[in-house]
Chain A
Amino acid sequence: MKKECVTMLLAGGVGKRLGLLTQNIAKPAVPFGGRYRIIDFTLSNCLNSRMYTVGVLTQYSPLELHKHIGVGKPWDMDRMEDGLTILSPFTVNDGGSWYLGTADAITKNINYIEGYDPEYLIVLSGDHIYHMDYTKLLQQHKEKGADVTISAIEVPWEETSRFGILNTTDDLKIYQFEEKPMKAKNNLASMGIYIFNWKILKDYLEDDATNNNSNHDFGQDILPAMIENNLSLYAYRFEGYWKDVGTINSYWEAHMDLLEDHLPFSLNNDEWRIYSHDSNFSPQLIDKNTSIHHSLVNNGCVISGTIDHTVLFENVEIKKDAIVKESILLPGVRVGENAFLQRVIVQENVTIPANTRIIANSDSEPVVLSNENLESIS
């Protein structure tokens, strides 16, 4: 059946810089925000934008991710005719290989896309935290008559060396793409969200596949080639909160961003909800003599101690006299009596024994605690 737009969601990333957090699961499956997994934000954006034809490309450690996504029910993606399809690497008659790059992942799935005969292809990443209506992106793409539109966000000038920077005219037409420039000419950073005219992209992908020197990557190979050939590329100016939680520091910061009284970004947004699974835990129980400030708490938690600037996922227990500050506790964590934790990220189902003291310095990375490293750290 024909669809105007197909969305390809890249969720195969290893997320090496997230260390222990991605040791056994893909980055988009990493828990976030007290209730969600990182990919929920992109999937919910698709749902809220009414984009229901979604291919999710997975590769690295996909078990948790596949179980979480299932057929896409929480995001209305279990549909009769389109909906969500998980696309893992596969073999064909004459071989087959792992996905070699972001562009290669799409190239290998041309058959999936052609099945819908779309005009447009949206490429998203499952790694980002943000709210976005993709129909606005598509609308500008159509209005400008562009071949490619790249969603971009203004970043502080000091940070431009960390991003792919888009150099544009006043009209937002892109004339140059600079990957992590030392001296940036512009501060519009690519968000890794692209919309292409499918027929055009298809040609470039097929071409790129034959090039053995290519890294088969959008930012490194496809887009520069398109700019060189004078295709019409435009930037879409995104306004709002957007975070790529690629490092332990940025993951931790993104959580702390959720905790101030007045938020740049709220999870509690009725206009643009983020959907996920629900484990049916009971409402949280707060004991006497507790203190809870600047924190997020999910169902199933029982709190008898103190928490501050902390995010508690579901089913976390904080025992009497325990104090937890500036931390993230994943589902099923138990914090023993009189323990003291500061700037830590505690992995799922870890039990912190009573009287344990673990404090990470503010000038070093927050510490990720798992059952394996708990003894050596405390």
Chain B
Amino acid sequence: MGLINLEHEHDFLNELNYFRCGAATPFAGRYRLIDFTLSNMIKSDISEVAIFTTSKYRSLLDHLGSGADWELNKRHGGLFILPPQWQEATDISKGDLRHFRNNWDYFETSKADYVLISSSQFVSNMDYQALFNSHLESKADITLLTTHYDLLPEHDACLKVEVDADNQVKTITNDTKNPHVFSGVYVIKKSLLYALIEACIANYKENFFLDGVITNLNCLKVHSYYYEGYSVIINSIDSYYKQSLALLEIDNYRQLFSEWERVYTKIGNQAPTKYNSSAKVSRSMIATGGVINGEVDNSILFRGVKVGKGAKIKNSIILQHCTIRDGAHIENVILDKDVTITEDQLLKGAKEQPFIVAKNKTV
């Protein structure tokens, strides 16, 4: 069974997270961040997925619905969105332990023996089966999915591991100089999960991974499964902007989006995008439902974006249903959904700090 734990994900995307939690942030032209880990779980034959949500989850609920678009609305299995619902007055649990304690019946009812836990910030397109097999073969208590990055600012917030020759994890720290990064995805046996949760709650702890796993590293057998494929961590405006535009490089695009391994998302039912006589598009990723009359360079357009004649868009990310009217010039900008840029308007952000416009605004 799968669990997407959003408890410790903070709203790092400023305007993009004013009205929605991080996991619901639109990404890569038609997805939301949570789609990647959710799709990976489906591909791995995980048929029950729970999501611990915290706040601003209306967007997420609307996006996920019954889970139909991820084939999760079935007789066997299902999607269980678990918002904070604290029943007992005598409950002393805190942080994500509170989620575990209050929703333990979901875990108990499932016939699965293992739980695969992830966040929404690690973006990859993979089948977790290999991770799971590695866990079984190594007979470890917990197996962490790790990878290697050329260090970027966004990795500072990540946990780093040090392993021995057998891929046993010796330390887990926040060492900013260590390139061996823990992705946030791990597999654990349900019975062990329960024992660690109980121990954390009894000791008034708030963070399951930090207090249940890292603290007990000495008495647990923790194994590292090394992932070699393409992946990115999105936990800041900087990483969001840079890693989005990095997908415009064909190699990266093909690694994340393969013809055979699709990423599932909410179905949009848009018509194919129309390129008119004055369209001039270069090095960009465009979703459907759009109408393009102007110039688009090094940018990402989500669905239903209308670009007027003489409009110029550069190094920007335009979310769904925005309208860029005739003659407008925008550069280094992120527009949240339903934004209108009026005729001949000029809007320019800095490459290091893109200008973000919150949803529904007219500029």
Expressed in whole angstroms, the Cα–Cα distance for A297 and B276 within the complex equals 11
- 19 A-B pairs with CB atoms under 8 Å apart are A273-B269, A276-B269, A278-B267, A278-B269, A282-B253, A282-B263, A283-B285, A283-B300, A283-B302, A286-B283, A286-B284, A291-B280, A293-B279, A297-B275, A299-B30, A299-B287, A312-B272, A313-B272, A315-B259
Chain A residue at minimum C-beta to C-beta distance from B253: A285
A285 near B285 with CB under 8 A, answer yes
Is A295 engaged at the interface, CB distance under 8 Å to the other chain? Answer: yes
Is A300 engaged at the interface, CB distance under 8 Å to the other chain? Answer: yes
Chain A residue at minimum C-beta to C-beta distance from B125: A282
A286 near B286 with CB under 8 A, answer yes
Expressed in whole angstroms, the Cα–Cα distance for A293 and B291 within the complex equals 11
Is A280 engaged at the interface, CB distance under 8 Å to the other chain? Answer: yes
Is B274 engaged at the interface, CB distance under 8 Å to the other chain? Answer: yes
- On whether A293 and B277 interact (CB within 8 A), knowing A280-B262, A280-B265, A286-B283, the answer reads yes
B277 near A286 with CB under 8 A, answer no
Choice from B29, B250, B267, B282 contacting A283 with Cβ under 8 Å: B29
A292 near B281 with CB under 8 A, answer yes
- Which residues of A does B touch, CB under 8 Å? 33-35, 74, 259, 261, 266-269, 273-276, 278-300, 302, 304, 311-313, 315
Q: A268-B274, A288-B282, A299-B287 are in contact. List 11 more A-B contacts (CB 8 A).
A: A35-B288, A268-B271, A280-B265, A282-B29, A282-B30, A284-B285, A285-B284, A297-B272, A297-B273, A302-B253, A313-B272
B272 near A298 with CB under 8 A, answer yes
Inter-chain contacts of A291 with B (CB < 8 A): 280
Inter-chain contacts of B296 with A (CB < 8 A): 286
Is B357 engaged at the interface, CB distance under 8 Å to the other chain? Answer: no
Inter-chain contacts of A279 with B (CB < 8 A): 262
Expressed in whole angstroms, the Cα–Cα distance for A275 and B277 within the complex equals 27
- On whether A35 and B271 interact (CB within 8 A), knowing A279-B262, A298-B288, the answer reads yes
Choice from A274, A281, A286, A290 contacting B271 with Cβ under 8 Å: A274
Expressed in whole angstroms, the Cα–Cα distance for A257 and B271 within the complex equals 15
Contact with A along B311-338 (1 / 0, CB 8 A): 0000000000000000000000000000
Inter-chain contacts of A299 with B (CB < 8 A): 30, 287-288
B250 near A285 with CB under 8 A, answer yes
A289 near B259 with CB under 8 A, answer no
Is B46 engaged at the interface, CB distance under 8 Å to the other chain? Answer: no
Expressed in whole angstroms, the Cα–Cα distance for A296 and B290 within the complex equals 10
Inter-chain contacts of A268 with B (CB < 8 A): 270-271, 274, 289, 291
Q: Classify the secondary structure of B's interface with A.
A: loop
Max chain A Cβ within 10 angstroms of own Cβ: one of B28, B270, B280, B302: B270
A281 near B269 with CB under 8 A, answer no
A313 to chain B, nearest CB (A): 8
Inter-chain contacts of A289 with B (CB < 8 A): 282
B272 near A35 with CB under 8 A, answer yes
Inter-chain contacts of A290 with B (CB < 8 A): 281-282
Chain A residue at minimum C-beta to C-beta distance from B293: A261
Inter-chain contacts of B282 with A (CB < 8 A): 286-290
- On whether A284 and B264 interact (CB within 8 A), knowing A268-B291, A298-B288, the answer reads no
Expressed in whole angstroms, the Cα–Cα distance for A323 and B293 within the complex equals 21
Chain B residue at minimum C-beta to C-beta distance from A300: B259
Max chain B Cβ within 10 angstroms of own Cβ: one of A267, A279, A313: A267
Choice from B270, B273, B279, B283 contacting A284 with Cβ under 8 Å: B273
- On whether A280 and B271 interact (CB within 8 A), knowing A298-B288, A299-B287, the answer reads no
B263 near A297 with CB under 8 A, answer no
Choice from B28, B272, B277, B289 contacting A282 with Cβ under 8 Å: B28
Chain A residue at minimum C-beta to C-beta distance from B289: A268
Expressed in whole angstroms, the Cα–Cα distance for A124 and B273 within the complex equals 29
Chain B residue at minimum C-beta to C-beta distance from A261: B276
A317 to chain B, nearest CB (A): 9
Expressed in whole angstroms, the Cα–Cα distance for A286 and B250 within the complex equals 9
Is B257 engaged at the interface, CB distance under 8 Å to the other chain? Answer: yes
B157 to chain A, nearest CB (A): 27
Inter-chain contacts of B285 with A (CB < 8 A): 282-286
Expressed in whole angstroms, the Cα–Cα distance for A42 and B106 within the complex equals 44
A76 to chain B, nearest CB (A): 12
Inter-chain contacts of B28 with A (CB < 8 A): 282-283
B283 near A280 with CB under 8 A, answer no
Expressed in whole angstroms, the Cα–Cα distance for A291 and B286 within the complex equals 14
Chain A residue at minimum C-beta to C-beta distance from B269: A275
A180 to chain B, nearest CB (A): 34
A33 near B272 with CB under 8 A, answer yes
A283 near B271 with CB under 8 A, answer no
Expressed in whole angstroms, the Cα–Cα distance for A280 and B268 within the complex equals 10
Q: List residues of B (188-238) whose CB comes within 8 Å of A's CBs.
A: none
B51 to chain A, nearest CB (A): 20
Is B248 engaged at the interface, CB distance under 8 Å to the other chain? Answer: yes
Inter-chain contacts of A302 with B (CB < 8 A): 250, 253
Inter-chain contacts of B284 with A (CB < 8 A): 285-286
